[in-house]
Each structure stands twice: as C-alpha cells, then as structure tokens.
Amino acid sequence: MEKVCIYGSGNWGTTAAKIIGENIPKFSGFHQTVNMFVHPEKFNGTELTELINTTNENPKYLPGHKLTSNIHATSDLREALDGVTMLVVVIPHQFLPSSMKAVAALIDTSKLKVISLIKGMYIAKDSIQTTTQAIEAILKVKPSVLSGANIASEIAGHQICESTLGCAFKSESDLWYNLFQTDYFNIQCVTDVYGVELYGALKNVVAVGVGIAEGTGVGNNSKAAILRLGLLEMKKFTLHLFPDTPNDIILQSCGVADLVTSCMGGRNYKLGVEFSKTKKSFDQLEEELLGGQKLQGPATAHEIYLYNKNHNLTEEFPLFTIIYQICYESRDTHDIFKTLHGLRL
C-alpha cells in the first residue's frame, strides 16, 4: 500500500492536493487518506489546518476550490509523515533544506519515493544544484520532478494544460502518473529529471529577455528570434551541466511550451517589458507590478552569469550574458539583438 503526503499547502500545493485527492479513489494500492503538511499559521484567527479539514477548502491559498474529504491537513510533521511512502514536495525553495532535514530526522527515507513540484536552481559554492539534487543530498533518494506550462489557479479551475513528469524509474513513474493525470491536466512521462527541472528555471531568464526585446518596440519576428536563441541556450546550458539530458526534452511541456507561455504574458516577461521601457529598478517594478513579490528571472540571470564567468563561459551564452548586462550593468536594451548577428548555432 502506498501512502501519500503532500509537503506544502500554498497555491500549487493545495492544487496538487485537489488533483491527488480526486484521483486516489480511482486506484487500488493507495491508502485513501492523503496527509497535507501545513506550515502553522492562522487565517482570520483560526488555524489554517482546522479550516481546511472542516471546510475542505484552503481559504488563504486556493479560495473557491473544494478539496475532496480524503485530504487531511496537519501541522504536526510526525503525523503528516506517518506511514508515508510517496512524498510530494511543494514549498518555497528557501525553506527546502531545513524542511528536508526535518523529514530525514523523523523517518527512514531509504525507500521513500519523492517528487519535487518546485521550479528553481541554486548556486552552491562553485556549482549549480537543481532542486532534486538538493533534496537528494539530504534524503539520499533520487527524486522525480513535475514541471510544465501550467499555473496552479488555471489547473484548479480545470483549464486544460500539460506538464512533464521526469522520473528515472518506470514503476515509480506509473504511480506518479496515476496521481496527477486528469482529463484537464495531461502528464507526459520522461526518464530525465535534471533537464526537466533546469528548463523550468532557465525559461524565466529568457522570458525577461523577450520582454526586454518587446519593450524596445520591435515586432513579433524579432521577439521570436530572441525566444529561439533563448531556447537554444537553455538546451546548451542544460547539456553543459547534464550531458546525458536527452535532446527531445526541450520539446516537452517543461521546455518549449513553458517558455512560450511565459513569453506570451507571464510575470517575468512583463517585468522585462516594463524594465526595458522605464529603466526603473527591479525592486521598484516588483513593488509596482507585483506588490513586492520577487520574481526569479533577474535573480537567475545573475546566478547564471556568475557561474558562466567563473567557468569562462560568458561568450558561449551570449543571450544569457547580455540579459544580465542589461539588467545589472546598464547595458543598452537594443544590444540584445546583437546576439543574433552572425549567429551560427
């Protein structure tokens, strides 16, 4: 019997709970109660866990969408992890190391199946670490990943979309597929993990770049040229870090589709457009556009630049490099198009 625990209760975590809660009764072999670990907090004076368990709704992070009654919210990690065999990790990435250490201190993780729903990468010393690598370093198991062109609120509203499930093990892949696949949420299974998650981080940098291009007033063909170069640099950078990444992962939802969606009007794209037009600081724009919420695109551009500089790779990635220079070194926005000239990628 598999038993599922969802570690996290934000917008995406609660959406995952909604999907998994709906799917689990369709299959034998799963314990029918799914625990959701909720970081202790109150909402209108009542514990969030109590509200979720009594109303079958997360009023703070996914208001208006009912969960099935088989979802049990708790802020007691020991209770949440009781008997768990499949752990869904979906928390802000800054809390990842401490959270995973808490898990490792409570249970034997050697046979735990883990999936990360977190997009992101980290600079650790002189190397880049993906989210699953960070989890693996603590839990000592190789996690899977789910990443694609999807937004929690759209999925919760049953808007049709896709995601890529990266899992190295066939039988485990089938289990995760059964938990996530629905009529409206289409899962594609691949055996690669690192490429799937790295594309989800790198696409934010390219979206900033396409936004910068848009902000200069060019047409769609010019923007498409920057998007394409971005796609090629995403692929090249991923192959540099993980040479075994299959070539066709870039054509999965986590690659081209997530990038295209982001460049059709995602937040990093919009930030790039406004930065390009106004030259205001990112802090100021994030305050004005997003109430202070920090976006990953500029930060990831900075991290990649530092990595590439340390490894003499800045010229190998002209678009990543120039996006950094425009964002942080006052380089002219129109220079982004210089990356296309004479390109023979």
Asked whether residue 21 is marked as a ligand-binding residue, the answer is no
- Report the residue from 205, 256, 295, 326 that binds a copy of itself according to the rule CB under 8 A: 256
Neighbours of 156 (CB within 10 A): 22
**Rounded CA gap, 148 and 199, in Å?**
9
- Report the residue from 181, 245, 268, 308 that binds a copy of itself according to the rule CB under 8 A: 181
**CB closer to a copy of itself, 49 vs 262:** 262
Which residue of the set 18, 60, 113, 203 is catalytic? 203
Is 222 a residue that touches a copy of itself (CB under 8 A)? yes
Assigned token pair, 48: 């969030």
Amino acid at 183: D
Q: Among candidates 208, 227, 327, 214, which has minimal Cα distance to 271?
A: 208
Query: Count of alpha carbons within 13 Å of 330, Cβ hemisphere only?
Result: 0
- Report the residue from 2, 47, 162, 172 that binds a copy of itself according to the rule CB under 8 A: 162
Environment class of 219 (CB within 10 Å of its CB; exposed 0-12, middle 13-18, buried 19+): exposed
**Rounded CA gap, 191 and 177, in Å?**
13
- Closest approach, Cβ 66 to a copy of itself, in A, equals 21
Asked whether residue 207 is marked as a ligand-binding residue, the answer is no
| Site map (CB under 8 A) of a copy of itself, residues 259-298, x = contact | -xx--xxx--------------------------------
Assigned token pair, 224: 């498409």
Helical axes 131-139 vs 194-215, angle rounded to 10°: 150
Q: Tell me which DSSP letter residue 310 carries.
A: H
203 is catalytic: yes
**CB closer to a copy of itself, 57 vs 154:** 154
SS3 state of residue 27 = coil
**CB closer to a copy of itself, 123 vs 218:** 218
Asked whether residue 268 is marked as a ligand-binding residue, the answer is yes
- Report the residue from 29, 219, 243, 291 that binds a copy of itself according to the rule CB under 8 A: 219
What secondary structure does DSSP assign to 137-154, as a single string? HHH-S--EEEE-S--HHH
- Closest approach, Cβ 321 to a copy of itself, in A, equals 18
Neighbours of 288 (CB within 10 A): 12
Asked whether residue 12 is marked as a ligand-binding residue, the answer is yes
- Closest approach, Cβ 94 to a copy of itself, in A, equals 26
Is 342 a residue that touches a copy of itself (CB under 8 A)? yes
What residues line the site for a copy of itself (CB under 8 A)? Answer: 149-151, 154, 159-162, 181, 183, 186, 188-189, 218-225, 227-228, 231-232, 235, 247-248, 250-253, 256-258, 260-261, 264-266, 337, 340-345
Q: Catalytic site residues?
A: 203
